[in-house]
Amino acid sequence: MTAYLIRRLWQMIPTMLGVMLLVFLLFHTFAGDPAQVLAGKISNKADIENIRKQLGVDEPYWKQMAIFAKQVVTADFGRSWSTKEPVSEIFAKRIGPSVTIMAPILIIEMILCVVLAMLVAYWRGSLTDRMVMIICTIAMSISFLAYIIAGQYFLGYRLELFPVQGWSDSTLKNLTTYAPLPVLLAVLVGLGPGIRFYRSVFLDEINHDYVRTARAKGLPESQVLFKHVLRNAMIPIITNVAMSLPSLIFGAFLLEKFFSIPGLGREVINAVDKSDFPIIKAVTIYLAFATMLFNLLADVLYRVADPRVEFK
Amino acid sequence: MSAVLDRPESQYQSASSGIWQLAWQRLKRDRVAMVSLVIVALFMFVILLSALGLIASNWDDQVGVSYASPTFMGKVDNSEALSAEAALPELAVPKDAAVVDLSDVDPLADVLPAIAAQAKLLESAVPAKAQSLPFGGDKWGRDIIAKTIKGAQSSIFVGFAAAFIAVFLGTLLGALSGYFGGWVNDLLEWVYNVFTSIPNLLLILAFAAVFNKRGLLTVIMILGITGWTGVYRLIRAEYLKHVNREYVKAAEAIGASHWRRMFVQILPNVSHIILVNLSLLVVGFIKAEVILSYLGFGVPVEMTSWGTMLQEAQNELVIGKWWQFAAAAFLSMAVLITAFSLLTDALRDALDPKIK
């Protein structure tokens, strides 16, 4: 186990170097001189000269790469180009709201999707099954934007069930007052693809011999599904959840933009708008790292879910 | 004996039809798929006409009053149009203001009459603005139907073009990796790992930040360059499987080059995967384009797409002008994407060799 973990962590290094190379190629060689990028966005000449010096724009590429590598290793990406705040401070401030929104979304969505998909799989082939599948397909076809715009308008503005937007300093108030509407909308959007995915996972399992055996010995169908099939379908469920975990940090950036939630996602959109490269670079590097860690976590959890899985 | 020989050759050929014919036969039996196909074909026909300039070429014309209401709603109070009209005369020079004669110092004095005459010609060309349009108008009184068609054209074009690029890249790299193996495989797997370790939307935004220029081509390139990984994975797996099959060995024996074996021998055998993934990507990229354009990183300002329409619609909804929102989000986009998704599902079932 320990040997496996060490080897997996060791294998992350080339990928991480690749991510750094990609980010470097994009932001240092492809994007060109920051003086040009920032023309019209930052008017102060001295500021731009400062940025150029920090990046080492006039130095050879290998030196620039070394400066960038040092930033990555020390997790110090300098200051934001537009607000001059240190990037690490921006991160510390923005990550809380993103998690406040995304954690409930992930948990509620997973539970709802698994339970509903189980029910649909239970009624497989029936009219209910087909109706649910058609509704899911239609629901998936409507843009996420449409859900947010309509939800904010009808539930927030017209019916006044929720505040239209806003955020406070107290986590409790955020969770009870400001988060419910964005969470509700995101869960609604996630139901369509989620139910479809888990349904196909469960239907794959249902054709196995152990299910037939369980039925043959007279177990009720509900017990077959929720006890036998669910446990055997854990691996794709873990994969799916682990794959959506990086979004816990990045957040549903559209939700953050619409509901004025000061999270990391909104920060990234603003950064793209203002060509604030240090923030985008930092988010990309951190998130790539987090994604790799979550993938490793998923692989370890496979073992917990299924003792037959061996670490090779 | 002779009766057997006399049989026309075509009869033997039709006895065993290829995978595409079989798939088409299966698809034809699927009623949902056929309805979806008709809807998708209709959309394609409409945007083809629009691309040729036959319809909706004047989508930018201000044919109605501001927020002209849909005709089917009958007479509705339109305070926005009234206030817009009321605001106009204030902008014009007051008629009774004393006009100082500047003709002796004005260098344009000689040409002014000519300009005035021209202006008069243009003025008379402006038609009366309609109070209501078939499906309403936007803030500048542009016809929502024409605008939706033009928006569909940009969104669908971006979706298809980007999907073609992504599928091309994915197929090429996947084929190289699966066929050659060795260091080519290691290198491409590394690139794949790098691209997939960054969440897709963040990668798109990072590219958008660097390209830093709005434009149809930019969006297509961004989506195409970031979206190839899924196809790569599938095609690589297929090539790994096919490269050791007998027909490829046989091709090698008769001296077919690597290139020929990869793209003439193996490619047709994996083309069904390419087709299904192409249509999956089209759906995904249309949705992505809508989000990018909404955020302002998408199509340029002088164009319209479903994304920019939704951006305008957000503010219109608050003042009760729901038609642009309905036209963009539900009547066009949701219908097309639903039909396209159902068609893709049916296509996948029809092309799956396991289901016979």
A contact residues 112-141, partner B, Cβ 8 Å cutoff = 137-138, 140-141
The pLDDT, as a whole number, for residue A45 is 74
pLDDT score, position B286:
93
Q: What is the pLDDT of residue B56?
A: 77
- The whole-angstrom separation of Cα A195 and Cα B136 is 37
**What span, in angstroms and rounded, lies between the C-alpha atoms of B284 and B265?**
30
pLDDT one-digit tens code per residue, B62-117: 777 777 777 777 666 677 667 766 655 544 455 555 556 666 677 777 777 777 77
Residues in chain B closer than 8 A to A273 (CB atoms): 296
Q: Does A213 score more than 60 pLDDT?
A: yes
Q: Which residue has the higher pLDDT, B161 or B315?
A: B161
Residue B129 has pLDDT above 80, yes or no: no
Side-chain-side CA neighbours of B216 within 13 Å: the count stands at 14
B309 CB neighbour count, 10 Å cutoff: 29
Q: Is A153's CB within 8 Å of B318's CB?
A: yes
Burial class (CB in 10 A: 0-12, 13-18, 19+), B302: exposed
Whether A250 sits inside 8 A of B191 (CB atoms) is: no
Provide the 8-state DSSP code for B99.
Answer: P
Strand-pairing partners, residue B143, are B137
Chain B residue whose CA is closest to A243: B199
* pLDDT(B186) > 80: yes
Helix (H, G, I), strand (E, B) or coil at A291: helix
Q: Are strands B64-70 and B130-133 parallel, antiparallel or unpaired?
A: parallel
What does the pLDDT look like over B171-184, one tens digit per residue?
Answer: 999 999 999 989 99
Q: Which residues of A touch B342 (CB under 8 A)?
A: 137
Instruction: Give SS3 for B70.
Output: strand
3-state secondary structure of A25: helix
pLDDT digits over A240-295, tens only?
888 887 766 665 788 888 888 888 888 888 888 888 888 888 888 988 988 898 88
Give yes or no for a contact between A53 and A40, defined as CB atoms under 8 angstroms apart: no
| Full-model pTM | 0.84
Q: What is the pLDDT of residue B2?
A: 47
- Residue B284, min C-alpha distance to chain A (Å): 10
Rounded to two decimals, the ipTM of the complex is: 0.85
Six token digits for residue A298:
């998923």
Q: Which residue of A has its CA nearest to B32?
A: A134
| CA B170/CA B274 separation, integer angstroms | 9
Comparing CB atoms, the residue among B205, B294, B333 nearest residue A272 is B205
% of residues, chain A, pLDDT over 90: 10
B112 and B106 Cβ atoms separated by less than 8 Å: yes
Query: Which of the pair, A302 or B161, is modelled with greater confidence?
Result: B161
| Contact call for A138 and B338, based on CB within 8 A | yes
> Looking at the predicted structure, is the pLDDT value of residue B1 above 60?
no
Residue B323 near residue B306, CB atoms below 8 Å: no
Q: What is the count of residue pairs from A and B with beta carbons less than 8 Å apart?
A: 121
Name the token pair of B143: 């016809």
Interface probe for A, chosen from B196, B197, B201 (most Cβ of A below 10 Å), is B197
Percent of chain B, pLDDT > 90?
A: 34
Three-state DSSP class for residue B228? coil
| Backbone φ, ψ for residue A272 (5° rounding) | -65, -40
**Which residues of chain B lie closer than 8 angstroms to A246, CB-CB?**
199
- Are A143 and B198 within 8 A, CB to CB? no
Residue B319 in tokens: 């003042």
Nearest one of A304, A164, A181, A182 to A251, comparing CA atoms:
A182
Give per-residue pLDDT as tens, B5-23.
555 555 455 556 777 888 8
Q: How far does the CA of residue A233 sit from the closest CA of chain B (Å)? A: 23
Closest CA to A254 of B336, B220, B290, B223: B290
